[in-house]
Amino acid sequence: MPTQLQSRPRSSQSGSADVGIALQGVGRTYRDRRGAGVRALDAISLRVAPAEVLAVVGPSGCGKSTLLELICGLQRPDQGTVACAPAVLMPQRDLLLPWLSALDNAALALRISGLSRERARARAAALFAEMGLDGFEHSRPSELSGGMRQRVAFLRTLLSGKRVLCLDEPFGALDAITRAEMQEWLAGALAREPRTVALVTHDVEEAIVLADRVAVLSPRPGRVLEVLEVEAPRPRVRTDAALIALRERALGALQGAPTPMVGAR
């Protein structure tokens, strides 16, 4: 059983050619307290081309977050191989540091990469207006609304300069209106500056609006049930008939029904 462990390169230059993300026969088993194995992921093979957006949908507990941690190198697979350009994780909770201002939170990756506080701030500040955050540079996270916090977290993620973004339900904690705004914003940001994206979500509509392809995972242990191509042109309108049809197909796959069947149960 070949297990090629992926080490996280510290510099984004160290990867040779940009492979995007390549998962080959990846499996991951957790041990619970009594030592029994809990299989989280099983035989996952997925490829994400550079600058492609792959959405991963699945029922809760299907190992979606584990998948992202494998891609980011936070965990190692028991089976199979993970090859990936340097990846950054954006968790569902914004995880902004409460003791830093919005600006310093956004500039965190730059500070960690060794930039001085002033230069890191200057680079982050240049993007604040574009994010609709101007005027809030010196606010603490607790003074920002949920949508603004999420945008600061996105800025932090983007400023890490990594080619691969792993987004773990990035809008899960937002209300419906803010979520729609943020999805639109993300689609625009990726159009301007393409990145390879693995987007985990439980929201099938979000997956279809944002992604080039949608992978549907089974309940635990997570396996790839189906990969749907989303060919609709961007910018996408959620009410587009083709998108709605795709959504029904994805929902059908999620519910274990034969794929063409619509709205089972």
The distance of closest approach from Cβ of residue 135 to other proteins in the complex, given in angstroms and rounded to an integer, is 13
Q: What is the rounded CA–CA span in Å between residue 157 and residue 108?
A: 9
**Interaction between residue 29 and other proteins (CB under 8 A):** no
| Stretch of 107-115, 200-208, 211-219, 232-240 contacting other proteins, by CB under 8 A | 107-115
| Stretch of 22-30, 137-145, 208-216, 233-241 contacting other proteins, by CB under 8 A | 137-145
The distance of closest approach from Cβ of residue 91 to other proteins in the complex, given in angstroms and rounded to an integer, is 5
**Interaction between residue 35 and other proteins (CB under 8 A):** no
* Chosen residue from 24, 29, 79, 178 binding other proteins by CB under 8 A: 178
**Interaction between residue 15 and other proteins (CB under 8 A):** no
**Interaction between residue 74 and other proteins (CB under 8 A):** yes
Q: What is the pairing mode between strands 21-31 and 79-84?
A: antiparallel
**Interaction between residue 255 and other proteins (CB under 8 A):** no
Cα angle, residue 195 at apex, residues 185 and 152 outer, rounded to 5°: 45
**Interaction between residue 183 and other proteins (CB under 8 A):** no
| Stretch of 106-114, 210-218, 219-227, 245-253 contacting other proteins, by CB under 8 A | 106-114
* Chosen residue from 113, 137, 180, 202 binding other proteins by CB under 8 A: 113
| Stretch of 90-98, 186-194, 205-213, 249-257 contacting other proteins, by CB under 8 A | 90-98
The distance of closest approach from Cβ of residue 139 to other proteins in the complex, given in angstroms and rounded to an integer, is 11
CA atoms 120, 125, 127, 132: torsion sign: positive
Q: Could you write out the three-class secondary structure of the chain? A: CCCCCCCCCCCCCCCCCCCCEEEEEEEEEEECCCCCEEEEEEEEEEEECCCCEEEEECCCCCCHHHHHHHHHCCCCCCEEEEEECCEEEECCCCCCCCCCCHHHHHCHHHHHCCCCHHHHHHHHHHHHCCCCCCCCCCCCHHHCCHHHHHHHHHHHHHHCCCCEEEEECCCCCCCHHHHHHHHHHHHHHHHHCCCEEEEEECCHHHHHHHCCEEEEECCCCECEEEEEECCCCCCCCCCCHHHHHHHHHHHHHHCCCCCCCCCCC
**Interaction between residue 134 and other proteins (CB under 8 A):** no
Compare residues 48 and 214 and give the one whose CB is closer to other proteins: 48
**Interaction between residue 73 and other proteins (CB under 8 A):** yes
Compare residues 60 and 142 and give the one whose CB is closer to other proteins: 142
Q: Which residues bind other proteins (CB under 8 A)?
A: 8, 10, 69, 72-74, 87-89, 91, 93, 95, 97-100, 108-109, 111-113, 140, 142, 144-149, 156, 160, 166, 174-175, 178, 181
